[in-house]
A and B are shown apart, each in its own frame.
Chain A
Amino acid sequence: MHKSSRKIVAEVQVHSGLKYPHRLSLYDQPPTEDITIEEFETCAIDRLRVLSEIESCYARNRPFDELKEITHSQSEKHIPLDHNSATTKDRDGQRRKDNTGHFVLRLAFCRSEDLRRRFVKAETTLFRVRYMNTTISERREFHKSGDFDWTLVEVEERKKYASELKLVPDASPEDQYLKVRWTRVPDLVEKRRVLLKDGWAYVPSRELSSIVFQEFQTRLERALAMTAKALPWMDEDTRLEPILANLSQGFIAGVGSEWGANESTGEEIRAEMVDELAHKHFPMCMRNLQENLKRNHKLKHFGRLQYGLFLKALGLSIDEAMVFWRKSFTGYNDDEFNKKYKYNIRHLYGLEGRRANYPAKSCQQILMNDQPGAEDSHGCPYRHFSADNLQTALLSMYSPQGLTEADLPEIMGTVKAEAFHVACTRVFEITHTTQNVAKGDGIGSGETVTHPNQYAAASRALERASGDGDTVMR
């Protein structure tokens, strides 16, 4: 008895005899068997739980290690997939559920551009985490099955480009290389982690996962676009329609970390108050923009965008905003101003163009998107200033509020460790010591700054609480 079962295991490992031979899947085979309505829904909901969790990790800006941990435990809980050797488990059943759930959600999330984008992001992350948790031999099998269309670079070719290949970051002479069109590994190209020749990317084999992830994403994007086209044909099925509509709702309601205008204090801010508020309550990025604006009487496009949306969320109405910007741009006559900037400002308030209610930019967006060019003054000073300029700026901006030279080493230390929001939070604490904020309190119950408006709101709340806003100014 004992002996025979061992024999079966050995057989399974050679050719598993499973309908789904791999744990990982590129989801190229839709389920074709009969599925009950109930199963249709439960498979999807279990998967959706995991995907929502992934989305909220992104929204909270968790580091990748944490995200990986959370994703792994969530997927173990709701949609587990066991290794081929786990013969006591219903591996085919698990994989069938995984596959079905994925395809149902495709139907639910192909409806709009936005849903598609979010679904692709979450699914790709899930795939990535699962891929990282597989064994090397599993990956090898999976690579063979996937038709990834890459070529191994021959020795002669490697010799020909040896001098350049050795300059690729972290290169070692023993590296094997795969050759693919550069368009298939944009993330590696962006980070300059491959050698580019004539449109071909020479990818070190240790970066191979990048090709796999990209391929997963590209195929899913393409498949979703196809599904979207076929969808109207399916809308007639009255049993599925409500389920699918429900599912996509669940995804949308799951997250929300935008700092909209409605979250401001309700109290109206007038144009002439901005400068004073800036001195008392603005985080450094906005102080810097205000000071640049005062000094140069203009701001470049992304500066206006960052600052304008911040002011909007702070409670500056469109009329007051118009007054504020008009007064600040002194070098222009009314005609020029109206022509060049009026539209722009109205656009921020959703009165032109797409008429979207743009939220103010979060720290993450300010740090990661729209990197300032050589002449720009937007961005995050903690990240985008050089060390000595940052120190000078800190002292000149915040010494009236109690920041001293002795505080600088600590702040600069966090900046050096690239914990920019921590540095910003520390400055908040230092400049609010008179209001009994101690180190570690953050902007309230230990929270760190993740949004400039949150910084300003916390600072203004403290002032109101201590009830001596006026005396502090004098």
Chain B
Amino acid sequence: MPSAETEPPTPELMLVFYRRLYPFKSIFKWLNHEHTPGRLFTHREIAFTLQNDVYLRYNSFTTADEFKKQTCTLNPTRFEIGPVYTARPRDRKTIRPGAFTPAQRELVFDVDMTDYDSIRTCCSGADICKRCWGFIGAAVRVLDTAVRQQFGYRHLLWVYSGRRGIHLWVSDREAMGLTDDQRRALVDFLTVVQGGKDMNKKVNVRPVVKGQGRAGDLPPSIQQAVDQLADPFGDLILQEQDCFRGEAGWKELLQLIPDSKIVERLEQKWTRSEDRSSYDKWTDLKEEIKALYKTSQARQPMKQAMQDIILQFTYPRLDAEVSKHRNHLLKAPFCVHPKTGRICVPIDPEKIDEFDPDLVPTVGQLLRELDAVASEPSGEEHSDWEKTSLKPYVDMLEKYALGLMSEVRKDRLANDMTW
């Protein structure tokens, strides 16, 4: 029973949610990579945000049960997951300051709609609709491919952030151990759209060709992204968002065109026929390029500009700070967004385009579902989520955690010499 309306959850609702629905066991397995609690869990920081907005940092737990118990006692609005430290975070005051440092941490990414406010035409600020989700869809496809194919990581968990964005958690062993410098290098490698509000051309990733002073081809990783983004650009920017229909939109587009003659011609044409769609305008641009001689000096820069425009409008805009530091905290999966009441559920990247943020279950809805079946005698309380529409999502996390755990087991067998 999907619901489009949002409802800020009350403390009472939250408490029932933690008691009966929140999948502490699965979260534990996902963080810990095995059944018996290890450092990955016991040395892990959990930060709670309480109902009165007090922020409690450096909590840590020895078991999933203890984690659940404390969460129910504090009844926070949400909690965040931090790094694995060299010692238990809750003991940090008893150890030498230098000896308490972040050691491991999932590689995390955060893509948020607010970074797209200047180019989305449907909503702004905190609002999100199915149409803006297209930007997230494009971002997920590019990032998912890049992290898997270029960096070779296998364990990627995508999680809806509860309102207008998406998080990615990478749990591969190498990824867990990356230093801040390595994380920064990786994020800079993946960052393409740059420059502040007052910079028109935000994509400047072409290397300068030695001895010629002109911009060269895109680096291989970004060329691959352009190929992936050509279709979403057509669907999203030209059709759905229709970014270049209004005057402000097409003026912005023309600022990205290097050839002043073309700009002049198109400006006249588009001022005359006011209501040309973005699709028509993009076709106009293509026609202009076709009209240039194949050998013309002007042709190559124009083709490059078209690719750069595709990148500027559809390439993922990362919140880089989140990914660069091991000690950055990020909201845990399955938390409830305090404004919308929606659950931060995992998302299958293969089905990202089918995902509709409006259809994500809210905490109120889940508890109503639970009430409907409450009359039946239930066995153990902790599996109550199985009776609600939360089930497919918890199953997804379970399956993901199993993948991680079997990898750890394999490693252990390989290292085990005591036969």
A positions within 8 Å CB-CB of B: 112-113, 164-165, 167-170, 181-183, 186-187, 189-190, 192, 195-200, 228, 288, 339, 370-379, 381, 384-386, 388-390, 393
Contacts and interface: CB of A to CB of B under 8 A. Distances in A.
Nearest to B177: A183
Contacts of A186: 181-182, 184-186
Given A167-B218, A168-B220, A170-B210, A375 B185 contact: no
Contacts of A373: 115, 194, 196, 317, 319-320
B221 A192 contact: yes
Nearest to B178: A183
B149 A198 contact: yes
Q: Which of B101, B193, B195 has the most CB of A within 10 A?
A: B195
Q: Which of B101, B174, B196, B319 has the most CB of A within 10 A?
A: B196
Contacts of B223: 164, 167
Contacts of B188: 190
Given A112-B98, A164-B220, A196-B221, A189 B198 contact: no
Q: Which of A189, A376, A381, A390 has the most CB of B within 10 A?
A: A189
Interface in B136-194: 149-153, 174, 178, 181-182, 184-186, 188-189, 193-194
A198 B152 contact: yes
A187 B181 CA distance: 9
B198 A389 contact: yes
A374 B220 contact: no
B198 A183 contact: no
B114 A375 contact: yes
A375 B198 contact: no
A380 to B, nearest CB: 10
A189 B115 CA distance: 25
Nearest to A188: B185
B220 to A, nearest CB: 4
Given A192-B189, A386-B195, 17 more contacts: A113-B101, A167-B220, A186-B185, A196-B151, A197-B149, A198-B149, A199-B150, A199-B151, A200-B152, A371-B194, A372-B194, A373-B115, A375-B197, A377-B197, A378-B196, A379-B196, A386-B201
B318 to A, nearest CB: 9
Contacts of B255: 386, 388
B73 interface: no
A309 to B, nearest CB: 17
Q: Which of A182, A339, A390 has the most CB of B within 10 A?
A: A182
B189 A189 contact: yes
A373 B109 CA distance: 15
Contacts of B185: 186-187, 189-190
A199 B116 CA distance: 30
B379 interface: no
B118 A384 contact: no
Contact of B200 (A370, A371, A375, A386): A386
A228 B152 CA distance: 34
The 3 closest A-B pairs by CB, nearest first: A199-B152, A186-B185, A372-B196
28 contacts: A169-B219, A186-B181, A186-B182, A189-B185, A189-B189, A190-B184, A190-B185, A192-B189, A192-B222, A196-B150, A196-B221, A197-B150, A198-B150, A371-B194, A372-B194, A372-B195, A373-B194, A373-B317, A374-B116, A374-B193, A374-B196, A374-B317, A375-B114, A384-B198, A384-B199, A386-B195, A388-B200, A389-B200
A232 B221 CA distance: 48
A214 B183 CA distance: 15
A199 B178 CA distance: 13
A134 B218 CA distance: 34
Nearest to A385: B198
B174 A375 contact: no
A397 B12 CA distance: 55
A393 B197 contact: no
Contacts of B205: 192
Interface string B212-234: 00001111111100000000000
B195 to A, nearest CB: 6
A167 B115 contact: no
Nearest to B147: A199
Contacts of A195: 220
Nearest to A390: B198
A196 B216 CA distance: 19
Contacts of B193: 374
Contacts, number: 120
Contacts of B320: 371, 373
Nearest to B222: A192
Q: Which of A168, A199, A371, A378 has the most CB of B within 10 A?
A: A199
Nearest to B216: A169
Contacts of B217: 167
A370 B184 CA distance: 11
B117 interface: yes
Nearest to B172: A199
Given A169-B216, A190-B188, A389 B199 contact: yes
A372 B115 CA distance: 11
Contact of A374 (B101, B118, B178, B182): B118
Contacts of A379: 196
Given A189-B185, A375-B118, A183 B174 contact: yes
Given A199-B153, A373-B115, A375-B114, A167 B219 contact: yes
Contacts of A371: 194-195, 320
B38 interface: no
Contacts of B222: 192
Contacts of B184: 186, 190
Q: Which of B101, B220, B255 has the most CB of A within 10 A?
A: B220
A171 B41 CA distance: 45
B202 interface: yes
B219 A168 contact: yes
A436 to B, nearest CB: 33
A386 B149 CA distance: 34
Contacts of B152: 197-200
Nearest to A202: B220
Nearest to A163: B220
Contacts of B189: 189-190, 192, 196
B106 to A, nearest CB: 16
Contacts of B117: 375
Contacts of A390: 198
Interface in B90-130: 98, 101, 114-118
Contacts of A192: 189, 205, 207, 219, 221-222
Contacts of B178: 183
A183 B177 CA distance: 10
Interface string B278-320: 0000000000000000000000000000000000000001011
B196 A385 contact: yes
A393 B218 CA distance: 32
Contact of A339 (B53, B195, B196, B200): B53
A338 to B, nearest CB: 10
Contacts of A169: 207, 216, 219
Nearest to A217: B181
A79 to B, nearest CB: 28
A192 B218 CA distance: 10
A373 B323 CA distance: 14
Given A189-B185, A189-B186, A189-B189, A377 B196 contact: yes
A161 to B, nearest CB: 9
A385 B153 contact: no
A374 to B, nearest CB: 5
Contact of B174 (A199, A339, A389): A199
Nearest to B55: A343
A433 B320 CA distance: 42
Contacts of B317: 373-374
Nearest to B324: A370
A289 B196 CA distance: 12
Contact of A170 (B116, B207, B220): B207
Contacts of A190: 184-185, 188-189
